[in-house]
Structure 1
Amino acid sequence: MAKLVTTPNIPRPDDFYADLLALHEGRSKDESDAINARLILILANHIGDREVLVEAFEAAKAE
């Protein structure tokens, strides 16, 4: 069983954050919300482990 990784795990996190901001640049709130929803579903499918995804839900609620 995989566990949710909550420690820093992204190489060059500042670059990732800049890319994420650029993805939303010039878009309306509705467009950004739709992008976020699609991104969540794409990444959840990539993870593919329901237990890890439930851990992510719990971590998101706690923040």
Structure 2
Amino acid sequence: MTKLITEPNLPRPDDFYQVLMDMHRDLSDEQSADVNARLILLLSNHIGDQRVLEEAMHIAREHIA
């Protein structure tokens, strides 16, 4: 069983963040939501571990009141 990695794990997080922001440049809100959904599905397929994905979804939603 794999566990979700929540500690910093990207060698260059600022570079990744910039590429992520660039991906959204000049997109409408609807296009931005679409590209986010596609990215989530692609990465989820790559991860391929239902428990890890559910843990990530739970953690992602924790801050919502």
TM-score range, shorter chain: over 0.9
1:33 and 2:33 correspond? yes
2:29, 2:62 → 1: CA distance?
24
Uncovered stretches (5+) of structure 2, i.e. residues with no partner? none
Tell me what 2:54 maps to.
54
For residues 4-43 of structure 1, what are the structure 2 equivalents within 5 Å?
A: 4-43=4-43
Look up the SS of the partner of 1:6 in the other structure: coil
Separation (CA, whole Å) in 1 of partners of 2:57 and 2:23: 23
SS in 2 for 1:7: coil
Question: What is the number of residues matched between the two proteins?
Answer: 63
TM-score (norm. length: structure 1):
0.96
After TM superposition, the runs of 4+ consecutive aligned structure 1 residues lying more than 2 A away are: none
- Normalised TM-score (structure 2): 0.93
Give the AA of the match of 2:58.
Answer: E
